[in-house]
Copies of this chain bind each other. A is one copy, B any other.
Amino acid sequence: MGVSKQVIELYFKQLQDDICVELEALDSAGRFREDLWQRPGGGGGRTRILEGQVIEKGGVNFSAVHGVLPQRIAQVLGVAAVHFFATGVSIVLHPINPYVPIIHANVRYFELEEGTWWFGGGIDLTPHYVEEEDARWFHRQLKAVCDRFDAGYYTRFKEWADNYFYLPHRHETRGVGGIFFDRLGAEAGFDKADRFAFVRAVGEAFCPIYVPLARKHKDRPFAERQRQWQALRRGRYVEFNLVYDKGTRFGLDTQGRTESILMSLPPLAQWKYDYHPPEDSAEAHTLKWLQKGIDWVT
């Protein structure tokens, strides 16, 4: 054991710093703007927003909050309404070039006064245009990270992401998925140090995964048609985040800092009534990939 919440919080802060440095290097023009905020009930955070030339709008947020767990949240979690502590880093990047995918990543730690604790997190990719090769590469990177810790992690967390990042009303996954996990506690022979090591590896995999993908496509020529499609796909991103995403709901329900929570929303989004891309177009091909249960690694 021996992993205190202070150690985890400090690590997450450092992770935010490191990721911001690498993303500024990727963008080369944009610089992160930082807003420090305090939560009336206890704790606070560092919201960092980049509006650059590669990343149209991106957020890398750190927070560490504590206080009395709201009764309603306690019920949902199935725990007593006691003091809690929660810390994490949350990232959403909306690139300018439609050939560069949207990415989301999150690592988080939750602890209750009476001793319960768990980690959660994940990384998932939402290409406006799905390229099979990229999606396979992305999933293989995630699998390599998972395999260093447990042979069963990737399969389990990939399926979890498929089910979590899903829009039932559209019969579509949000993108090509990735990994998602929650409530990783001291079970199955894993102690807190093991879980923390895994979560660190996920956090540290973010830049080595996203930066090459972004570099590969950031200078690819595009036209108005691709920007239009990007805006429509961003509309789906908005639908997922506002209707289904548990983190967003939790944040809004617990009077979190709205601008930090909703940094995940795209700079611009479009809704066109009953739009269907032309058959056999790149856009139509992308839609075919937006389903659960695709094996990207074998």
User: A residues bordering B, Cβ < 8 Å?
Assistant: 33, 35, 49, 51, 57, 59, 168-170, 231, 235, 238-239, 242-243, 252, 255, 258-259, 261-263, 265-274
C-alpha spacing A238/B168, complex, angstroms: 18
Partner pick for A265 among B168, B169, B231, B235, CB 8 A cutoff: B235
Closest 5 CB pairs of A and B: A242-B242, A265-B271, A259-B274, A169-B258, A169-B252
What is the minimal beta-carbon distance from A253 to any residue of chain B, in angstroms? 9
Q: Give bound CA distance, A239 to B272, whole Å.
A: 17
Q: Are B242 and A238 in contact (CB under 8 A)?
A: yes
Of B59, B263, B269, B273, which is within 8 A of A269 by CB?
A: B269
Docked CA distance A259–B272 (Å) = 9
16 contacts between A and B (CB under 8 A): A57-B271, A169-B255, A170-B258, A231-B268, A238-B242, A239-B242, A239-B262, A242-B243, A243-B252, A259-B274, A262-B271, A265-B271, A267-B272, A268-B270, A269-B269, A269-B271
Q: How far is the CA of A217 from the CA of B51 in the complex (A)?
A: 34
A268 lies within 8 A of B269 (CB): yes
Contact at B272–A35, with CB atoms within 8 Å? no
A267 touches B258 (CB 8 A): no
Residues of chain B with a CB closer than 8 A to A33's CB:
273
Partner pick for A271 among B231, B252, B267, CB 8 A cutoff: B267
Q: A242-B239, A258-B169 are in contact. Are A35 and B274 (CB under 8 A)?
A: yes
Q: Are B273 and A263 in contact, with the CB atoms below 8 A?
A: yes
The chain B residue sitting closest to A243, CB to CB, is: B242
CB distance from A130 to the nearest CB of B (A): 21
The answer for the CA separation of A265 and B33 in the assembled complex, in Å, is 30
